[in-house]
Amino acid sequence: ASAGPAEVRAAGQKWLRANHYTLLVKPFPKIAAGSNSGLDRSLLPALSPAPDIKFPEVQRAKLKNGLNVMLLERHSAPIVNMTLAVDAGFVSDTAAKAGAASLALDLMDEGTKTRDAFQIVNELDSLGARLSTFSQLDLSFIKLQATAENLRPSLDIFADVVLNPSFPPDLFAIQKQRRLAQIGQEKAQPNALALRLLPGLLYGANHAYGRPFSGSGYEKSIEGIAREDLMQWHAQWFKPGSATVIVTGDTTLEKLLPALEGAFSQWQPGSAPAKNVGTVAKTAGGKIYLIDKPDAPQSTIVAAHVSEPSGQAEELAIEMVLQNFGGMATSRLNRNLRLDKHWSYGTSGFLDDARGQRPFIVVAPVQTDKTKESMVEVVKEIRGIAGERLLAGEEYASIMRNMTLRLPGRFETLNALEGAAIEIVNYGLPADYWSRYAGSVRALTEPQLNDAAKKFVRPGEIIWIVVGDLKKVEPGIRELGFGEVVRLSADGETLSR
């Protein structure tokens, strides 16, 4: 306050002269070309009509041994994706050997009768190729990505892995220990634990869908699996008549078929046994299963029931409905529990992928002190989508915009194209399904969406799983009166209070 003009000037020269940035703004002068423009530049440009999906022709063939071949050509890059889809999957497991299918696939690329794991990796690397193996619920996969130039030598390794896995004893023992650790991790994580126990509660322990959706199995079943069991599983299920090789990318049938015939000439004809995926009765709702996680900062809420199998006339409609219900950041569930109430970091509601009766599932991790209140909101949203709050007006327009505007880019990559082809194989879709997909989606009406929701989502059949600190949340849950309350262990065993 006592500084004079000279002192202020000296301080400014000392501190403000260096290390400063001066921005000079010189507006453009008015020009004749824009003086009479009628454009309102405050408005966003109108969107042009979205282009249609460009889906390649689905070409089919069959090898001499009965192996089905599906080709979708795309020549924009010299890359070929090849996937062998075998009709096995987790449902091929027996109850006593639950986890065998996924364990076998984990080991199939770890050695063959003529190549060990290092040789497989080194040969693939030298060819610029990649190979992976895994299982899902209804199918098991061996996937190859190779350059078009090196497809034939890459295919030789691919076929060797398919036909001649050795399941090396040392790696088998290691993989069993990893699998037991994976099961322990699933039981330690609330979300994974709830989804691990859910299948048995919905389908029953003896149903093919009644085991953990991860395919990991149980400690007892994994400990009881011998290397010979995996060899027997492979011999039983890897049959050309029950498999399809799906190829996408830079090749043609004329080039592909001779290469496949040569690579798989030693694969003898045959088909895998039928899988025992029976029909279960509608879920008897009105039960709440509680699993204790002392001092957990969150509760994981799962609400579920057995819904319709794949292949329904309303498949597209329910896909739109569930995107709006629980499939995106602005879905009804997420708007309610996350955006409006801030009780959750994120929720979801979906039909799980399966050929048979699929489970309708809501997953909502919420803060512990809002467990009871969140269950009330989940019920409200389920009842809403099932008919109490119809999808209409701007909400309908919004979900249709969301789903249709993304369509042109849906199949830009080979992986996306391959995924669409796998759906054709898994669910028996017609060859032109994806070519007609965009038009079918755009034709959906409000009544069609709401009718589908009523068919697939049935609030009266809901069962609940809540994983959390029961000393804090159990009294409030019992006050809700949603049904019988049952305590479970992490292994699904019934506990007394």
Rg (CA), the chain: 29
Q: Quick check: 448 pLDDT over 80?
A: yes
361-386 tens-digit pLDDT = 999 999 999 999 999 999 999 999 99
Q: Could you check whether 59-263 and 287-495 share the same CATH topology?
A: yes
The answer to whether residue 18 scores a pLDDT higher than 80 is no
* Closest by Cα among 165, 137, 143 to 275: 137
Query: Encoding tokens for residue 450?
Result: 């709401």
Which residues, at least 6 apart from 272, have a Cβ–Cβ distance to it below 8 Å?
86, 87, 88, 92, 236, 237, 238, 239, 241, 242
Residue identified by tokens 């000296």 is 10
pLDDT exceeds 80 at position 17: no
Using CA atoms of 135, 250, 257, 261 in order, give the dihedral in degrees to the nearest 10: -50
Task: Tell which residue, 323, 353, 348, has the closest CA to residue 338.
Answer: 348
Q: Is the pLDDT of residue 388 over 80?
A: yes
| Percentage of the residues of the chain whose pLDDT score is greater than 90 | 83
87, pLDDT greater than 70:
yes
* Fold that domain 59-263 belongs to in CATH: Cytochrome Bc1 Complex; Chain A, domain 1 (3.30.830)
Domain segments of the chain: what residues? Answer: 59-263, 287-495
pLDDT at 21 over 80: no
pTM higher than 0.85, yes or no? Answer: yes
Q: CA 248 to CA 261: how far, in whole Å? A: 18
Q: Per CATH, the architecture of 287-495 is what?
A: 2-Layer Sandwich (3.30)
Mean pLDDT for the stretch of residues 207-221: 95
Mean pLDDT of 269-283: 91
Averaged pLDDT score across all residues of the chain: 94
* Residue, of 409 and 397, whose pLDDT is higher: 397
Distance CA 339, CA 346 (A): 9
pLDDT tens digit string along 143-198? 999 999 999 999 999 999 999 999 999 999 999 999 999 999 999 999 999 999 99
